[in-house]
Amino acid sequence: MSSSRSPLRILAPEASGPAIVRELSRRRFLSLAALAGGATVLAACSPAGSGSPAPQATGGTLEDNLSVYTWGDYDSPDVVSAFTAELGPKVTLDSYSSNEELIAKLIAAKGTSGYDIVVPTGVFIPQMIENGLLTEFNKDLLPNLSNMDPAYLGRAWDPGNDYSVCKAWGTTGFVYDKTVITRELATWNDFFDAAQNEASGKTSMSDDPAGIIGSYFWANDLDWNTTDPDELEACRVFLVEQIAPHISAFDSYPGTNAIPQGTQVLMQAWNGDARLGLLESSEPERWQWVLPGPQTELWMDNWAIAAGAPHPEAAHAFINFSMSPESLGLNLDYIGYNVGGQGQEQTAVESGLELTDLIFFTPEQLETMHEQELNDSQTVRVEIWNEMKAAAGA
């Protein structure tokens, strides 16, 4: 994104400003992981303090393997294959659908997950650091940090980029089948209305509590970070009792199958995944992407290294490799999200990259996007998510 469109005012404030991330107690953080499916015994776990200290990267010989635990289809195969061809380590990619799933896995493993690189959303990073789930970078091994746009560095959750650096950022909207829904949909209220009518039984929502719970508050133009019990209860009643019976799937990646195969009529989707689906569809004119009003989400995912990473040298090398200009360009093209590299919007437009309006956003659009905060309502939100999935018609 060009400097004239810097989203600094929209993204989390700098460390010198008021932090939006509220502290969670260790007990609250662990109960969140338990609700998301973590191990039964969590209170005693301390990844940073269990077993022998994890090896630290010093710039030595790269290990033979690298394990990355990330969001689905989130890395260009060309970047992964080039990394192995040029530097040696073989890369294994595993995926998750929510930050809660990631956190539960890391907590249960107590520093022995076997994963090297993880990709958490920014708002979760302070608590992951506090609970010993991440390893501090050796930034001497990350010279390609210089290729990143300063707008995406020094975020409030990690102002020194000591544990994390922007991998990609985006937003949440929806895609609908214009051959079935023949009216124009423009808002989250339109989404919910269509879900209960033309798209009933053919609607999917993300398998992620942030987007599901957020959509209710966005539709009603309310603060989606509220802790008000009455507002959260109203959200629960609406989603569980009114919307869930019409939902046929919880799918964080409809662009992979549902859009190309036409198996759903209405799909909540992240912008990059929606773009992938439109590009893969044999009938792209059939589908309409909507960045819905009056509000929606803004998120940033981040490269980080898991506590106990067995291959720390390879982990640093891969993150640094991914921040080269060539890799940034390949990843932007492949995943369809802004990956935070300097000058990428102009380059993408000049090169004729398709559907750049699903990657880069205007100042007016950015004004409608708001980040999630972690607060004392998070446990309730995960409970609503689980209750809605249990009540769904899927």
pLDDT at 97: 87
CA distance 359 to 176: 18
pLDDT at 326: 96
Pick the CATH number of 171-297+372-391 from 3.30.310.50, 1.10.10.60, 3.40.190.10, 3.40.50.720: 3.40.190.10
pLDDT at 17: 36
More confident residue, 390 or 43: 390
84-110: average pLDDT: 94
172-188: average pLDDT: 98
CA distance 29 to 375: 10
Of 47-61, 247-261, 341-355, the one with minimum mean pLDDT is 47-61
pLDDT at 27: 47
> Are the C-beta atoms of 75 and 87 separated by less than 8 Å?
no
pLDDT at 30: 54
CA distance 92 to 102: 16
Of 26-30, 69-73, 291-295, 303-307, the one with minimum mean pLDDT is 26-30
Average pLDDT, the chain: 88
- pTM for this predicted structure: 0.83
pLDDT at 34: 57
pLDDT at 29: 59
pLDDT at 36: 56
| Positions of CATH 3.40.190.10 in the chain | 3-169+299-359, 171-297+372-391
Per-residue pLDDT reduced to its tens digit, 255-298? 999 999 999 999 999 999 999 999 999 999 999 999 999 999 99
pLDDT at 110: 87
Per-residue pLDDT reduced to its tens digit, 198-241? 999 999 999 989 999 999 999 999 999 999 999 999 999 999 99
pLDDT band at 116 (very low <50, low <70, confident <90, very high): very high
pLDDT at 35: 57
Question: The domain 3-169+299-359: what is its CATH number?
Answer: 3.40.190.10
What percent of the chain lies above the pLDDT cut of 90? Answer: 80
Of 1-5, 20-24, 123-127, 192-196, the one with minimum mean pLDDT is 1-5
86-115: average pLDDT: 94
331-350: average pLDDT: 94
Cα separations (Å) of 132 from 44, 53, 116, 213, 292?
13, 12, 14, 28, 37
Q: Could you give the angle at the alpha carbon of 379 between the alpha carbons of 373 and 381, nearest 5°?
A: 70
Question: Between the CA atoms of 34, 39, 40 and 45, what dihedral angle is there, to the nearest 10 degrees?
Answer: -90
> Are the C-beta atoms of 106 and 38 separated by less than 8 Å?
no
pLDDT at 3: 29
pLDDT at 54: 62
pLDDT at 31: 58
126-149: average pLDDT: 96
Q: How many CB atoms lie within 10 A of CB 51?
A: 10
